[in-house]
Amino acid sequence: MNTETRIGAEELRQSAIDVLKLNDLGTMTSAAPNLYPHMWSWDAAFVAIGLARYDVPRAITELRTLLAAQWSTGMIPHIVFSENSAGYFPGFDRWGTETAAARPQGIMSSGICQPPVHAIALRHIVDRGRENGGTDQEAAESFLAESFDGWLAWHRWLAEVRDPDGVGLIEIHHGWESGFDNSPRWDGPYSRINPGPVEPFTRRDTLHVADASERPDDTEYTKYLWLVQQMASVDFDDRAVQDIIDFRVRDVFFSGIMAASSAVLADLADEIGRAEDASELRGYARRFRNGVAASVDPGTGLARDYDVLAGEWISTQTVSGFAPLIAGGDPAALAVQRNLLLGPDWMGYPELRFPLPPSTSPASAAFRPRTYWRGPVWPFLNLLLGWAAKRDGQRELFETLKTASLRQLADLKFGEYYEPFTGEPLGSLNQAWTAAAALEWIGSER
């Protein structure tokens, strides 16, 4: 690395650390200082990856706080609310989880989940601790042993409750569970929802962006809240929710993460002498890897979601179609996927500011370059794709993603997402997991 690059990387590194400190609430990190003043489940995993690059004990605290909110069923909720619940909508009072028997008392949380990237974060913490040695290594290895049963329970819940038929695809009951909130992936399922009466609401997300059209509109939001009401009406009981909910989709990207994370957790299980649990987790990894591979559309080469209520595959040109690259699997099939990712409809699209995959392909009629999950580029997602590429020995793809990501983040704005053609940061600035992604990319160079 030349002197100019090194100076730039150090400035980026310090700026990213400053963002994580800005968002630090003590034992949890808010996703962003204004728009998202709480802890989000998969945000927390990426935040922990970034924190581990300079403060292993604080990274451990992040995951420990999240795990303390785990429900007795094994589910890890998608939001753990800070005391500033009034600054976000829908807050704890709107979720209706007060009566959920499985929610741990004294901890305010939502009643749904998000993708299980946590074992990947745990792997990073253990690796950074061992690299540092001394008290960092001791703390990381102690946390692995202390927390393992919680992560195992989380994976078991997903495998047993959200894939009861063993098809290798996780069923979600809200677009928010995917993390791809308003993606074109969900247009079909949401179009078939006819909400009943929904309590009046005042949103706050549109107050924190320059252009409200970047966010889902109120008609969409009403459907989101209707699903929450449906779940609350049965106290978030797993079985009852499945029977009454108006949104049941097998999420292929969630499933790809489940496959990858289960394999990582299996390796960690071996390291602490949990051979039987490691075997169970490798079984999950195989199941979901196979489920993801079986979803691939032979015409487009992209993985697909499945709408359970409509009984049909969902074919969209979204980045979720690259779930096999996250899951891992057959080298020949993954080579086809990599060629697509690098091709003219994705990273090779000629008008892109940086060669990074938009959330929806610019070649798709559903593409909207400024609208949340309908077109912008998400930095944390590029980090995940880079991690998978490195895992599979695909150094060239890893380096391409890393170089472009570091150039994108050199504006020091740490946007929630980025306009793919101009590189403009959009959504909330000083986003924690964007800063964390920068730290991990920089750290991987050392």
3-state secondary structure 99-142: HCCCCCCCCCECCCCCCCCHHHHHHHHHHHHHHHCHHHHHHHHH
Q: Indicate whether 340 pLDDT > 70.
A: yes
Q: Does residue 416 carry a catalytic annotation?
A: yes
Average pLDDT over residues 308-336: 98
Q: Indicate whether 87 pLDDT > 70.
A: no
Grade residue 6 by pLDDT with cuts at 50, 70 and 90.
very low
Report pLDDT for 88.
Answer: 78
CB 324 within 8 A of CB 317: no
Q: What totals of helices (H) and strands (E) does the chain contain, helices first?
A: 17, 8
**Which residues, other chains included, contact 104 with Cβ-Cβ below 8 Å and sequence gap of 6+?**
68, 69, 70, 71, 72
Grade residue 34 by pLDDT with cuts at 50, 70 and 90.
confident
Q: Which one of 163, 171, 305, 416 is the catalytic residue?
A: 416
Report pLDDT for 7.
Answer: 47
Average pLDDT over residues 309-318: 98
CB 306 within 8 A of CB 313: yes
Grade residue 211 by pLDDT with cuts at 50, 70 and 90.
low
pLDDT of 248-268, one tens digit each? 999 999 999 999 999 999 999
How far out from the chain centre does Cα 63 lie?
Answer: 15
Average pLDDT over residues 151-179: 98
pLDDT of 387-415, one tens digit each? 999 999 999 999 999 999 999 999 999 99
DSSP E strands, 268-344: 305-307, 312-314
Show the tokens assigned to 64: 């420990």
CA distances (Å), origin 30, targets 202, 276, 286, 433, 444:
21, 36, 34, 10, 25
Average pLDDT over residues 90-114: 95
pTM: 0.95
Q: Which one of 181, 187, 235, 392 is the catalytic residue?
A: 181
